[in-house]
């Protein structure tokens, strides 16, 4: 198939001043689709070249080439950024370009379209959801029906190369780290991270603009994409902090596999509807006090067989997120849309 892929972000390390988590898995999607014989055309700006000065061997297209399927990482209005007139200061044209692509391919040509709502921002009553040639995918593992799951993806090679014993033996001077931005996480941060930060060594890397109420927490600002793994490799644990819309549906961001692959154990709030699906129960926590207790216990077993076994258990649970599995699901959804209408069923 000839697949048009629309995303607003980077394939390489990109720039520091961006929250783009898709850098962790996006290039693997394209490479896997290429390996399976598909042709992939990238339909947004080549930000790797324009902003990061990186030249990559992919095909970007500013026009409207013939396609068999349109695949979009869903963009939503961000006031003052992509809702402003083209050419105005700070404007990004991702939303305008997406609107043009959807109008041309999805609405005018009835091109089979897969929309991946990676941040769960698409309204439940959006008219696109009712079109027979459109499938809206959710990154949540327990999504609201009828959306199928297309989960955050992890490169197979990274999972296969991870050595639990070696990761357990890695020196980890920091007790607790969090990498990510503040967006809608204040409540979870207050409950799970803030009490622990008063008692253990810690670091928060990311864009946090409202921090006055937590003077004892160490915020270090945004980290480059290439710094994320070293941060996790130097930390014993992290806490999976999620907005309510993620907690209620089991939406797992790339921060989970990033931490696990670096051997940083993800303490998992019991509020997460599917906590047992992603981490062993020994890592589940109900509050900040339990975060402190788990860290103390993990310090006792650090470097030993029990520590390695916990890392191995987390790595095993990454199987669900492998590129080989999730790209296969994406291909299945695309095939569903490109079958003759009479043979189509539910995705």
The per-residue DSSP string of 115-156 comes to EEETTS-S-TT-GGGG-TTEEEEESBSSPPTTPPB----B-H
Q: Is the pLDDT of residue 121 over 70?
A: yes
Quick one: 49 and 132 in the same domain? yes
Q: Is 275 helix (H, G, I), strand (E, B) or coil?
A: helix
136 and 73 housed in the same domain: yes
Is the same domain home to 295 and 339? no
pTM exceeding the 0.85 threshold for the entire prediction: yes
What's the whole-number mean pLDDT along residues 217-244?
Answer: 94
Q: Which two tokens stand for residue 239?
A: 């806490």
Rounded distance between C-alpha atoms, residue 121 and residue 119, angstroms = 5
**The Cα angle at residue 342 between residues 341 and 346, in degrees rounded to 5:** 75
For residue 269, pLDDT beyond 80: yes
Nearest to 75 by CA among 125, 29, 22: 22
One domain, residues 126 and 210: no
Show the tokens assigned to 47.
């930000």
Q: Verify that 245 and 299 share a domain, yes or no.
A: yes
Contact (CB, 8 A) for 327 and 131: no
Mean pLDDT of the chain: 93
**Are the beta carbons of 257 and 154 closer than 8 angstroms?**
yes
Strand order in the sheet with 219-221: 219-221, 202-205, 174-179, 235-239, 265-269, 284-285
Determine whether 142 is exposed, middle or buried from the number of CB atoms within 10 Å of its CB (0-12, 13-18, 19+): middle
Q: Do 61 and 132 belong to one domain?
A: yes
22: confidence class by pLDDT, cuts 50, 70, 90: confident
Residue 344 confidence (pLDDT) above 60: no
Q: How confident is the model at residue 14 (pLDDT cuts 50, 70, 90)?
A: confident
What is the structure's pLDDT at 341?
57
Q: For the chain, first and last CA: distance in Å?
A: 18
Range name among 51-55, 145-149, 227-231, 335-339 with the lowest pLDDT average: 145-149
- Average confidence (pLDDT) over 7-34: 88
If you average pLDDT over residues 144-165, what whole number do you get? 91
By residue range, what is the domain housing residue 48? 2-153+322-343
Q: Report whether pLDDT(342) > 50.
A: no
Tell me the mean pLDDT in the region 208-231.
Answer: 94
Does one domain contain both 165 and 314?
yes
Task: Report the CATH number that the domain containing residue 276 is assigned in CATH.
Answer: 3.40.50.2000
Q: Return the pLDDT at 326.
A: 95
């Amino acid at each position: 198939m000839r697949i048009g892929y629309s995303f607003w972000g980077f394939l390489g390390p990109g720039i520091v001043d961006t929250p783009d988590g898709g850098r962790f898995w996006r290039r693997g999607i394209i490479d896997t689709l290429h390996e399976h014989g598909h042709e992939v055309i990238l339909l947004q700006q080549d930000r790797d070249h324009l902003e990061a000065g990186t030249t990559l061997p992919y095909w970007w297209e500013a026009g409207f080439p013939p396609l068999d399927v349109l695949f979009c990482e869903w963009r939503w209005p961000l006031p003052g950024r992509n809702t402003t007139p083209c050419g105005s200061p700070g404007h990004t044209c991702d939303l305008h370009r997406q609107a043009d692509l959807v109008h041309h391919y999805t609405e005018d040509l009835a091109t089979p379209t897969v929309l991946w709502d990676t941040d769960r921002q698409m309204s439940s009553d959006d008219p696109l959801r009712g079109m027979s040639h459109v499938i809206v995918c959710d990154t949540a593992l327990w999504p609201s029906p009828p959306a199928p799951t297309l989960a955050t993806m992890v490169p197979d090679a990274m999972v296969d190369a991870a050595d639990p014993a070696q990761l357990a033996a890695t020196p980890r001077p920091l007790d607790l780290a969090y990498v990510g931005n503040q967006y809608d996480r204040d409540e979870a941060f207050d409950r799970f991270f803030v009490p622990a930060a008063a008692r253990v060594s810690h670091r928060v890397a990311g864009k946090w603009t409202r921090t006055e109420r937590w003077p004892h927490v160490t915020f270090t600002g945004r980290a480059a994409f290439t710094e994320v793994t070293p941060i996790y490799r130097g930390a014993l644990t992290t806490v999976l902090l999620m907005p309510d819309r993620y907690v209620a549906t089991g939406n797992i961001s790339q921060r989970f596999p990033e931490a696990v692959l670096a051997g940083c154990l993800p303490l998992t709030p019991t509020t997460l509807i599917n906590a047992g699906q992603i981490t062993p129960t020994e890592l589940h926590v109900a509050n900040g006090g339990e975060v402190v207790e788990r860290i103390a216990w993990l310090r006792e077993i650090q470097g030993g067989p029990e520590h390695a076994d916990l890392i191995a258990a987390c790595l095993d649970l990454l199987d669900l997120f492998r590129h080989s599995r999730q790209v296969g699901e994406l291909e299945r959804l695309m095939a569903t849309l490109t079958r003759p209408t009479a043979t189509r069923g539910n995705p």
